Amino acid sequence: MHLGIDDFQYSDLYDFSRLTELATAFDRFVGENDAVLFGRFDSYRGAVRSGIGHGGLTEPEESELLISVARHLGAFLAQLFRTDPTPLKARTQRDSVVARFKKEFVSKRVAKVAPHPVPLPAGGERVISILSGGMDHDHEYAFAVAATRLLDLEREYPRGAKEISPNPQTRAAVAQLREALGQRREKIDSPEALLREAAAIHAIVDVLIEWTAARWESGAFDGWPSFRLPKPVVYDRLVPPEPHYRRRDGFKLTDNRKTPREITDQAHYCIFCHERKKDSCSRGFQEKEDKYKVNPLGIPLEGCPLDERIGEMNFLRADGDSIAGLAIVMIDNPMCPGTGHRICNDCMKSCIFQKQDPVDIPQIETGVLTDVLFLPWGFEIYSLLTRWNPLNVRRPIALPYNGKNVLVVGLGPAGYTLVHYLANEGFGVVAIDGLKIEPIEEKWLHEPIRDARVLWDELDERILAGFGGVSEYGITVRWDKNFLKVIRIALERKQNIRVYGGVRFGGTLTIEDAFDELGFDHIAIAAGAGTPTIVRMKNNLIRGIRKASDFLMALQLTGAFKKASMANLQVRLPAIVIGGGLTAIDTATELFAYYPVQVEKILERYESMSGDFGEDSVRAAYDREEQQILDEFLEHGRAIRAERERAAAAGEKPDFIPLVRGWGGVSIAYRKSMLDSPAYRLNHEEVIKSLEEGIFYAENLSPVEALADDFGHVRALLFEKQIVEDGRWKDSG
């Protein structure tokens, strides 16, 4: 494949000496476009490499320099891969008009107007249609164009000013607007005519404000980002008392992420604190040396653990320069497909906005990544940036093999990130995981990928590939696990990395094997730290009780959630999940979603087997307890089927929430209040999302005993109510 810079070929991108030449070509590219900038950048990186902090610049100067060079890098990469990011930019320009409309018109003007009586003031629609040209099918954008044009006109007629002197073009535009609205044309230009003109434009603005306020009140703009204003953060009411229920059917991705317009909206909401060295999202709210401010929930506000340059990313994304934004992100977070939306939120917790909704940074980060990935050759841009990123001035190019070999144990987030860094330092890296790692299509390792969508599968059909540790087999379908494939291919394409599944360190491979037989120079253990939590209660492992992590692993790894899978993972309702952390939240939602899948599958198989062998002989295979359970599942399966049919006839998504709840539902039982729970304190959004799926939350309950039925299966749980005394949680007795 010929690339778009000089005589570079695709294969050169995997060759150290050619990458060095590419880096030189980039320097030339920047120098030719902006010699002064290149001079500054060259001195900066020289200074950084000689150990001078921030290259001798102030941090805001450093940010500004990196942003400027990133823009050139974005253009260079686009040219290199002959890809065209202009649609991204054009889309962002439109969305930026909507963002400006939100800031200047909706937020500053309309939101200040008291709720309005019906009937609507006349004229709003007409003003919008005239000023927007009346053409656009995108009503939010058309409205934004009209309102911002009107504000631009109004600006030249300041209210209450002693003197006004609008420019001739503005006056002509105002005259045209007035005429279109059927107002009388001024025949002579006079001071009185100018005053009338000012009064007219003020009146038109006022009409539009009133009209908008009334329409907003009536719900006409529901769903428009421009009318979703930041709300105050009330720390003890982060979870609304009444959830907005969301129907879920199975194990497809449950959260499709924000739209590009919503992401542009968030990027414009950011006030780019890096310009003032106040970007707490990135650096945390430092109070004294090594001490961070603590929020009212007791969470230290330490910012992004990777010190990702967030303000800079947001700044570039607000301009639609996503390639540049991604290059900025990847200075500190080259494995960014494994972070972002629904994975981490330390940055968001530390956003400068502590009293109102923070900027949704994880959405922006993932949005910047997907903007680039889904450009033609976008995967190749990401992949190249993992090996060559001139903004990463300490290690711009992955070094060639240095003769030393490292064994990395575990391919979870810690393992794969370590593999990346070690490989870029030139080590030979062999990464093993005890889990089976599915083979990957060879062509993706050798051929350029034009459209990253070929890597995407529906989550409920996707084969669990075994790569990614808990982010593959623990984390739920709230997160798009296809991102793991992006990381894996980028890593496995490097010549000095080998990945092997099904190799358990300490079993299949011992320390002695690694050092003595295989000659590794170093072993890095990244085998995870999690141990299952054992609930202290009587009968804590009788039939019907499972550890949460074990349930999630069984669900994911056996593929029990798939319609076609025969895996045996039986759950019955009512179900109780004990715990207040994020694993409890995930377990509850997945259990809730799994139950309908389970009973429907059982019903289908029962019918099919009864058709083949006769119902009596099928039933004869079960003992008394199993027959009871079977009948329960069949009855529930029929109800799920009926709901599916009803929904199909009504053209809507089936609603299983009332059914599952009617059978006892899934409850989280926590020993303290929800507000005290780690899940609420660390990531209340996940609590909200779980309640939206129909989960019950039972507070102040500490488990004491599991009571068994005649078959030794759990039939009930006994809890002790907890109370607070002298500021401590205690049994109520």
Ligand X SMILES: Cc1cc2nc3c(=O)[nH]c(=O)nc-3n(C[C@H](O)[C@H](O)[C@H](O)COP(=O)(O)OP(=O)(O)OC[C@H]3O[C@@H](n4cnc5c(N)ncnc54)[C@H](O)[C@@H]3O)c2cc1C
- Judged by the rule CB under 6 A, the positions of this chain that interact with ligand X are 343-344, 409-415, 432-435, 469-471, 474-475, 504-506, 526-528, 530, 549, 552, 582-583, 586
Nearer to ligand X, 387 or 478 (CB): 478
Does residue 273 bind ligand SF4 (CB under 6 A)?
A: yes
- List the helix and strand counts (H, then E) for the chain: 26, 12
Does residue 599 bind ligand SF4 (CB under 6 A)?
A: no
Q: Which does 410 bind (CB under 5 to 8 A by kind): ligand X, ligand SF4, none?
A: ligand X
Q: Which does 362 bind (CB under 5 to 8 A by kind): ligand X, ligand SF4, none?
A: none
Does residue 548 bind ligand SF4 (CB under 6 A)?
A: no
- The string of DSSP codes covering 656-699 is -HHHHHHTT-EEEE-SS-GGGSHHHHHHHHHHHHHHHTT-EEE-
Nearer to ligand X, 405 or 583 (CB): 583
Q: How far apart are CA 108 and CA 115, in angstroms?
A: 15
Q: Which does 270 bind (CB under 5 to 8 A by kind): ligand X, ligand SF4, none?
A: ligand SF4
Alpha helices, DSSP H, located in 614-656: 615-620, 624-650
**Radius of gyration over every alpha carbon of the chain, rounded to an integer in angstroms:** 30
CB 677, CB 339: distance < 8 Å = no
Q: How far apart are CA 430 and CA 498, in angstroms?
A: 5
Instruction: Supply φ then ψ for residue 428, to 5 degrees.
Output: -85, 130
Q: Which does 524 bind (CB under 5 to 8 A by kind): ligand SF4, ligand X, none?
A: none
From 257, 431, 261, select the one nearest 343 (Cα to Cα).
Answer: 257
Does residue 588 bind ligand SF4 (CB under 6 A)?
A: no
CB of 696 to ligand SF4, least distance (A): 34
Q: Which does 361 bind (CB under 5 to 8 A by kind): ligand X, ligand SF4, none?
A: ligand SF4
Q: How far apart are CA 85 and CA 208, in angstroms?
A: 36
Where does residue 184 rank: exposed (0-12), middle (13-18), buried (19+ CB within 10 A)?
exposed
Give me the residue whose beta carbon is nearest to ligand X. Answer: 412
Does residue 361 bind ligand SF4 (CB under 6 A)?
A: yes
Binding residues with ligand SF4: total (CB under 6 A): 16
Does residue 99 bind ligand SF4 (CB under 6 A)?
A: no
Q: How far apart are CA 412 and CA 296, in angstroms?
A: 32
Nearer to ligand SF4, 314 or 417 (CB): 314
CB of 640 to ligand SF4, least distance (A): 43
Query: Distance between the two ends of the chain, CA-based, in angstroms?
Result: 74
CB of 317 to ligand X, least distance (A): 22
CB of 528 to ligand X, least distance (A): 2
**DSSP single-letter state for residue 338:** G
Q: How far apart are CA 477 and CA 459, in angstroms?
A: 7
Strand partners, 707: 716
CB of 263 to ligand SF4, least distance (A): 13
Q: How far apart are CA 257 and CA 724, in angstroms?
A: 39
CB of 438 to ligand X, least distance (A): 13
CB of 270 to ligand SF4, least distance (A): 3
Q: Which does 271 bind (CB under 5 to 8 A by kind): ligand X, ligand SF4, none?
A: ligand SF4
Nearer to ligand X, 265 or 586 (CB): 586
CB of 359 to ligand SF4, least distance (A): 4
SS3 325: helix
Question: Interface mask (CB under 6 A) for ligand SF4, residues 457-496, using x and -?
Answer: ----------------------------------------
Where does residue 634 rank: exposed (0-12), middle (13-18), buried (19+ CB within 10 A)?
middle
Does residue 226 bind ligand SF4 (CB under 6 A)?
A: no
Alpha helices, DSSP H, located in 409-503: 413-424, 442-446, 470-473, 482-492
Does residue 266 bind ligand SF4 (CB under 6 A)?
A: no
Nearer to ligand X, 583 or 722 (CB): 583
Question: Interface mask (CB under 6 A) for ligand SF4, residues 275-294, using x and -?
Answer: ----xxx-------------
Nearer to ligand X, 65 or 464 (CB): 464
CB of 109 to ligand X, least distance (A): 39
Q: Which does 273 bind (CB under 5 to 8 A by kind): ligand SF4, ligand X, none?
A: ligand SF4
Q: Which residues, 6+ apart, have CB-to-CB distance to 263 below 8 Å?
A: 317, 363, 364, 367
CB of 301 to ligand SF4, least distance (A): 10
- Establish whether the linkage from the previous residue to 574 is cis, with ω within 30° of 0: yes
SS3 406: strand
From 16, 126, 34, select the one nearest 73 (Cα to Cα).
Answer: 34
CB of 100 to ligand SF4, least distance (A): 17
> Which residues sit at the interface with ligand SF4, rule CB under 6 A?
270-274, 279-281, 310-311, 314, 351-353, 359, 361
